Amino acid sequence: MANASKHIWVQIDFEETKAFRSALFDAIPMRQCSRSEYDGEPLTEKELEQLQDAGHGDGVSVLLMTDAAQKDLVTDCVAKGNEAQFADPAWAHELKSWIRFSGKEAVRSGDGLYGPVMGNPDVPRWLGLLAMKGTFSAKNQNKKDHRHIQSSSAIAVIYSETDDIPHWIEAGRCYQRLALQAAALGLRAAFINQPVEVVKLRPEFAQAIGIGNRRPDLIVRIGHGPEMPRSLRRSVEDVLG
């Protein structure tokens, strides 16, 4: 007997209400993933409380790690993730195909990861690919991620009580609020997700940071840093048309 397809339905109810303008709404144009080194200055207790509140949701919590030992632990787990990902040819191919090395290339595609957002120069694609041949390695990425993690004021881990679709959605909503709260406070944020992108490392990372069998969904580093160039994005009409 063939297995029947399994459909999972999520019901979303809307209701009429009045518009409410908040600090998080005003932070929408400022929010970005800032892939740069931060200044390492500690966050205030009030800032940490605001970030904690913003990252909390229904069955989803946020763990904020700020001391040196915790940063070292995250650095080690990220390094394991880099080793696994750089050893995967499919992952490497996808990453290279997503990078837009020059402004002209970014404008032409309207999407992708624009090189200067990572601190790289604006160069033709052929030159960017040539440069990557000499620098594209887990070893070099580990050095960069070490600097980025150690320069951060806090590492936030958003984690769920249950591994299912409603909690995945809720985790995404919690991240958006966390990132907007950081932007509203004048802070920068960027993903450092390798320990949760590599499936076999996810439970190991969960145990290491003390959340047991809960599911770590997203890892975000937060701190004071410079505004970076922004990647281009296609319009909604281009994507859905």
Per residue in 173-221, pLDDT tens?
999 999 999 999 999 999 999 999 999 999 999 999 999 999 999 999 9
- What is the residue extent of each domain of the chain? 31-229
Amino acid in the structure at residue 181: Q
Res. 1 pLDDT band, cuts 50 70 90: very low
pLDDT at 127: 93
pLDDT at 208: 97
Look at the domain 31-229 and name its fold.
NADH Oxidase (3.40.109)
- Report the distance separating Cα 9 and Cα 72, nearest Å: 41
Q: What is the mean pLDDT of the chain?
A: 93
Residue 230 confidence (pLDDT) above 60: yes
pLDDT at 179: 97
Residue 29 vs residue 206, higher pLDDT:
206
The pTM is what? 0.87
Res. 119 pLDDT band, cuts 50 70 90: confident
Write out pLDDT tens, residues 40-75: 999 999 999 999 999 999 999 999 999 999 999 999
pLDDT at 6: 64
